[in-house]
Chain A
Amino acid sequence: MIAIIGAGPAGLSAAAAATRRGEEVIIIDSSSQLGGQYWRHLPSARNDSHSLHYDFSKAQKLFDELLSQPLLTRYSNSQVWQAEKCGDQFHLYILRNGVEEKVVADKVILATGAYDRTIPFPGWTFPGVMTPGAAQAMLKGHGVLVGKKVVIAGTGPFILPVATGLAESGAEIVGLFEFNNPFRWIFNLHGLLLNPSRIAEAFYYLKKLQKHRVKIEFGKKVESATRSSAVVDGTEIECDVIAVGWGFAPDVTLAGILGAQLGVDSDGTVIVKVDRRQETNILGLFAAGEATGIGGSTLSMIEGRIAGGGRGGLSRWRAQVFANGLKKVYPVPSILTKNLPEETIICRCEEVTRGQICTSIDELGAQSARTAKLFTRAGMGLCQGRVCGRNVSEIVADHLVQKVSDSERIAGGQRPLAAPISLGELGDGLAKKF
């Protein structure tokens, strides 16, 4: 039995490849529907479903195949909170609709995806400031517009579909800002030329945006926010939502818990290290998709297919070249975490400011991000540093005039629990004799 964790492009492609080979598969996902963050869609009961997504037919084909696949077991609304390797087998402890179950598998494929990477700026904790992913999830998953006048900013190709979706659904896009210059693609042309469908997709969004008279401006970012405006390049723009994202951060928690080797990608994100077959250094533990490096849905699907026992071939190389290009064209400059005002909140959960972090270094002798976190509680809150961890490391290193080491980045990706569990449910596990 193969357990696949995550039902996005990578996980579904892995499930399809494995079941086609006659393998029994269980796919575990936190959502109630297949598709993951990328192919998030309205429940089928709501008929206005799929018009919001570019080329949804690919996803629909996979859904249709898998939903009628007798070898596939689906665990929806399920989160793996803990995992162990015992002998040759993997023991997965799963909260399924809040109740704990144990699943034993011979092979595990981690397709845990990624989430928006964010960087603090003054005012970023006001209601209405959110990630593009949040705006997208509300729209695609529920048909709810997060606001009427929206500023979208940050970097990366993802801000285009978000702006397009919101504009098509009736929001006024009062500003669309890409920090990096698209001419950077000139130095990575092969990535584009090998993947012409991606150019077509970009033009699809740009055309739609043009229809709504949305102009994309380059080289600008949101400098600060008030409750009702964004300041961009010194100009105040009235708005009720500011969606800012700086690319993505892979979710590697489960890989870390199972002892898989983690590495640091060229964009500084922590990733799961895999071989050509997508296998980690732990025998029988595979990883595919964004968790092994941010590369977009096409590469995720190919990696998923390979992890599921299928073939990759040339398409993998093409998609990989594109993914490498993405990281070069849309870098996140380290200047963003420098020179933030002292009172800027860095850790949203524990409300720790940049000033407090610097004081822990200057006054208390913290010489590393780990110690600074222990002294200030930055990264110790509900999200367990998923949002602020990397930013705290950058701020501490900057203050100490150092560079963040790879080992520190990797340590930042290690967490003892993959999801919270209530103490009642945890204790009840004793009687279940797992």
Chain B
Amino acid sequence: MISFTFNNQKIEAIEGMTIAAAIFSTGEKVLRQTRFGGDDRSIFCGIGICWDCVVTVDGVINQRACLIQVSDGMVVTS
């Protein structure tokens, strides 16, 4: 198991899992808020097409949570 943080919460994950899978496995669905309406969003297409699940990964914005695999110590924010 490896661990990373999502909005400062520590999450354990199996190596090879995507960020979205790791977060979903904790029961959480909300990945981010939209930039105009501030509405909660989550995964939608799940395969990298729709970009609804974008999060900030180690400071880099607009990263698709459904594609990027977690790594130990990764810092993910909405």
**A and B touching (C-beta < 8 Å)?**
yes
Count contacts on A: residues with CB < 8 A to the other chain: 38
* Complex alpha-carbon distance, A405 and B51, angstroms: 28
B residues bordering A, Cβ < 8 Å? 14, 16-18, 20-21, 24-25, 29-31, 34, 36-37, 39-52, 54, 62, 66-67, 69
* Complex alpha-carbon distance, A146 and B42, angstroms: 11
| B16-A45 in contact (CB<8A) | yes
Verify if A288 is at the interface (C-beta below 8 Å from B): no
| A32-B16 in contact (CB<8A) | yes
Please give, as numbers and ranges, the residues of chain A lying within 8 Å of B48 by CB-CB distance.
30
* Complex alpha-carbon distance, A115 and B52, angstroms: 14
| A115-B51 in contact (CB<8A) | no
Verify if A383 is at the interface (C-beta below 8 Å from B): yes
Query: Contact flags (1/0) for A345-384 with B, using CB distance below 8 Å?
Result: 0001111000000000000000000000000000001110
* Complex alpha-carbon distance, A142 and B54, angstroms: 19
Verify if A219 is at the interface (C-beta below 8 Å from B): no
Please give, as numbers and ranges, the residues of chain B lying within 8 Å of A115 by CB-CB distance.
45, 47, 49
| A134-B39 in contact (CB<8A) | no
* Complex alpha-carbon distance, A137 and B18, angstroms: 11
Q: Mind listing 19 A-B residue pairs with CB under 8 Å?
A: A115-B47, A125-B39, A127-B29, A128-B42, A133-B45, A134-B47, A135-B46, A137-B46, A138-B43, A144-B24, A146-B24, A240-B29, A348-B52, A350-B36, A351-B37, A381-B51, A383-B50, A387-B44, A387-B45
Chain B minimum-CB-distance residue to A134: B46
Please give, as numbers and ranges, the residues of chain B lying within 8 Å of A130 by CB-CB distance.
42-46
A residues bordering B, Cβ < 8 Å? 30, 32, 37, 43, 45-46, 115-116, 118, 125-131, 133-138, 141-142, 144, 146, 240, 251, 348-351, 381-383, 386-387, 420
Please give, as numbers and ranges, the residues of chain B lying within 8 Å of A128 by CB-CB distance.
29, 42
| B51-A349 in contact (CB<8A) | yes
| B25-A144 in contact (CB<8A) | yes
Please give, as numbers and ranges, the residues of chain B lying within 8 Å of A118 by CB-CB distance.
44-45
> Which residue from B14, B37, B51, B67 sits with its C-beta under 8 Å from A382?
B51
Please give, as numbers and ranges, the residues of chain A lying within 8 Å of B47 by CB-CB distance.
37, 115, 133-134, 137
With both chains docked as a complex, state the minimum distance between the C-beta of A28 and any C-beta of chain B, in angstroms.
Answer: 15
Please give, as numbers and ranges, the residues of chain A lying within 8 Å of B43 by CB-CB distance.
130, 134, 138, 146
* Complex alpha-carbon distance, A382 and B69, angstroms: 20
Please give, as numbers and ranges, the residues of chain B lying within 8 Å of A131 by CB-CB distance.
44-46
| B24-A134 in contact (CB<8A) | no
* Complex alpha-carbon distance, A382 and B62, angstroms: 9
* Complex alpha-carbon distance, A137 and B46, angstroms: 6
* Complex alpha-carbon distance, A15 and B13, angstroms: 34
* Complex alpha-carbon distance, A126 and B34, angstroms: 11
Known pairs A134-B43, A137-B46; list 15 more (Cβ under 8 Å).
A127-B29, A127-B41, A127-B42, A130-B46, A131-B45, A142-B14, A142-B21, A240-B29, A251-B49, A348-B44, A349-B52, A382-B51, A383-B49, A386-B50, A387-B49
Please give, as numbers and ranges, the residues of chain A lying within 8 Å of B41 by CB-CB distance.
125, 127, 348
A-B pairs with lowest CB-CB distance, top 9: A134-B46, A127-B42, A382-B51, A142-B21, A127-B29, A137-B46, A115-B49, A144-B21, A383-B51
* Complex alpha-carbon distance, A129 and B39, angstroms: 14
* Complex alpha-carbon distance, A22 and B21, angstroms: 40
| B21-A348 in contact (CB<8A) | no
* Complex alpha-carbon distance, A32 and B36, angstroms: 34
Which has the most chain B C-beta neighbours within 10 Å: A45, A142, A349?
Answer: A142
* Complex alpha-carbon distance, A251 and B49, angstroms: 10
Chain A minimum-CB-distance residue to B69: A32
* Complex alpha-carbon distance, A147 and B24, angstroms: 8
